[in-house]
Structure 1
Amino acid sequence: MKIAIFTDTFYPDINGVARTLKHFTNFLEKQNISYKVFAPDSDANTNEYISSHISRFKSWPFFLYPECRLAFPNLFRIKSELEAFSPEIIHVATPFNMGLCGIYLAKKLSIPLVGSYHTDFDYYLKFYDLQFFTKILWKYMKWFHKPFKKLFVPSQETFTQLHRRGFANLEIWPHGVDCQLFHPHYDKQPIREKRGVTKKYLLTFVGRLAPEKDVKTLMTAAKSLPAKINEQIQWLVVGDGPLREELEVDAPANMTFTGYVTGVELAEIYSASDLFVFPSPTETFGNVVIEALASGTPVITANSGGVKNIIKQGATGYLCEAGNAAAFADAILKLLENEGLRSQFAREGRDYALAQSWDTILSQLLWHYQSVFEDTNIEKYA
Structure 2
Amino acid sequence: MRIAIFTDTFFPDINGVAITLSKWSSYLEKKEISVRIYAPNHMGNKDMNNENIQTYYSIPFSLYPECRIAFPNPVHIKKSIHQFNPTLVHIATPFNMGLLGHHYANKYNIPMVASYHTNFDQYLSYYKIQWMEPILWKYILWFHQDCKKIYVPSHSTKKLLEKKQLQNIEIWSRGIDTEVFHPITNRNEVWQTYGISPEKFVILYVGRLAIEKDIEVLINAYKFLPKEIRDQCQLVIVGEGPLYKELKEKGADISTESITFLGFKQGLELSDLYAAADLFAFPSATETFGNVILEAMASGTPVMGIEAGGVKENIIHEKTGLLSPAHDMVSFKNNIERMVKETKLRSTLTKNALAYCRQKSWSTIFDRLLASYYDIEEQSTFQLDRMIH
Range class of TM-score, shorter chain: over 0.9
Aligned residue in 1 for 2:279: 275
Answering whether residue 25 of structure 2 is matched by residue 21 of structure 1, we say: no
Contact 1:73 1:97 in 2 (8 A): no
Secondary structure of the corresponding residue to residue 127 of structure 1: coil
Secondary structure of the corresponding residue to residue 322 of structure 2: strand
Instruction: Return the alpha-carbon distance in structure 1 between the equivalents of residues 155 and 290 of structure 2.
Output: 13
Contact 1:115 1:152 in 2 (8 A): yes
Secondary structure of the corresponding residue to residue 304 of structure 2: strand
Contact 1:225 1:329 in 2 (8 A): yes
Answering whether residue 336 of structure 2 is matched by residue 332 of structure 1, we say: yes
What is the letter of the counterpart of residue 350 of structure 1?
A: L
Instruction: Return the alpha-carbon distance in structure 2 between the equivalents of residues 342 and 279 of structure 1.
Output: 18
Contact 1:210 1:241 in 2 (8 A): yes
Instruction: Return the alpha-carbon distance in structure 1 between the equivalents of residues 49 and 328 of structure 2.
Output: 44
Aligned residue in 2 for 1:85: 84
- Post-superposition shift, 1:20? 0.8
Aligned residue in 1 for 2:245: 245
- Post-superposition shift, 1:45? 12
Instruction: Return the alpha-carbon distance in structure 1 between the equivalents of residues 45 and 57 of structure 2.
Output: 14
After superposition, what is the alpha-carbon deviation per residue over 1:37-91, rounded to whole angstroms, capped at 9, x for unaligned?
00001159999x9753110111111111112101112222111111111221110
Contact 1:87 1:111 in 2 (8 A): yes
Aligned residue in 1 for 2:138: 139
Aligned residue in 2 for 1:305: 309
Aligned residue in 2 for 1:315: 319
Gapped regions of structure 1 (runs ≥ 5)? none
Contact 1:200 1:232 in 2 (8 A): yes
After superposition, what is the alpha-carbon deviation per residue over 1:276-331, rounded to whole angstroms, capped at 9, x for unaligned?
00000000000001111111111111111111111111011111011111111100
Secondary structure of the corresponding residue to residue 57 of structure 1: strand
After superposition, what is the alpha-carbon deviation per residue over 1:98-153, rounded to whole angstroms, capped at 9, x for unaligned?
00110111111221111100000011001111110010000000001111100000
Q: TM-score if structure 1 supplies the norm length?
A: 0.97
- Post-superposition shift, 1:196? 1.9
Higher mean Cα deviation, 251-260 or 126-135?
251-260
2:358 to 340, 354, 359: 354
Answering whether residue 148 of structure 2 is matched by residue 149 of structure 1, we say: yes
> Pairwise mapping of residues 29-178 of structure 1 onto structure 2 (< 5 A)?
29-42=29-42, 51-178=50-177
Secondary structure of the corresponding residue to residue 335 of structure 1: helix
1:381 to 368, 385, 388: 385
What is the letter of the counterpart of residue 242 of structure 1?
A: P
Say if 1:381 and 1:100 are closer, same or farther in 2 by CA, change over 3 A.
Answer: same
Q: TM-score if structure 2 supplies the norm length?
A: 0.95
Instruction: Return the alpha-carbon distance in structure 2 between the equivalents of residues 193 and 51 of structure 1.
Output: 43
Instruction: Return the alpha-carbon distance in structure 2 between the equivalents of residues 146 and 323 of structure 1.
Output: 33
Instruction: Return the alpha-carbon distance in structure 2 between the equivalents of residues 129 and 4 of structure 1.
Output: 36
Secondary structure of the corresponding residue to residue 124 of structure 2: helix
What's the RMSD between the two structures over aligned residues? 1.6
- Post-superposition shift, 1:371? 0.5
Instruction: Return the alpha-carbon distance in structure 2 between the equivalents of residues 149 and 329 of structure 1.
Output: 44
Answering whether residue 285 of structure 2 is matched by residue 286 of structure 1, we say: no
> Pairwise mapping of residues 189-204 of structure 1 onto structure 2 (< 5 A)?
189-198=188-197, 199-204=199-204
Contact 2:4 2:86 in 1 (8 A): yes
User: Aligned pairs, how many?
Assistant: 381
Aligned residue in 1 for 2:226: 226
Gapped regions of structure 2 (runs ≥ 5)? none
- Post-superposition shift, 1:244? 0.4
Contact 2:203 2:234 in 1 (8 A): yes
Secondary structure of the corresponding residue to residue 216 of structure 1: helix
What is the letter of the counterpart of residue 170 of structure 1?
A: I
Instruction: Return the alpha-carbon distance in structure 2 between the equivalents of residues 290 and 149 of structure 1.
Output: 29
- Post-superposition shift, 1:17? 0.6
1:363 to 358, 364, 367: 367
Secondary structure of the corresponding residue to residue 36 of structure 2: strand
Secondary structure of the corresponding residue to residue 125 of structure 2: helix
Instruction: Return the alpha-carbon distance in structure 1 between the equivalents of residues 367 and 138 of structure 2.
Output: 33
Instruction: Return the alpha-carbon distance in structure 2 between the equivalents of residues 66 and 46 of structure 1.
Output: 20
Instruction: Return the alpha-carbon distance in structure 2 between the equivalents of residues 80 and 150 of structure 1.
Output: 26
Contact 1:12 1:46 in 2 (8 A): no
Aligned residue in 1 for 2:5: 5
Contact 1:152 1:171 in 2 (8 A): yes
Say if 1:150 and 1:200 are closer, same or farther in 2 by CA, change over 3 A.
Answer: same
Q: Percent same amino acid at aligned positions?
A: 45
Contact 2:4 2:89 in 1 (8 A): yes
Say if 1:123 and 1:43 are closer, same or farther in 2 by CA, change over 3 A.
Answer: farther
Say if 1:43 and 1:202 are closer, same or farther in 2 by CA, change over 3 A.
Answer: farther
- Post-superposition shift, 1:30? 2.1
What is the letter of the counterpart of residue 4 of structure 1?
A: A
Answering whether residue 261 of structure 2 is matched by residue 257 of structure 1, we say: yes
2:300 to 296, 310, 313: 296
Instruction: Return the alpha-carbon distance in structure 2 between the equivalents of residues 319 and 340 of structure 1.
Output: 17
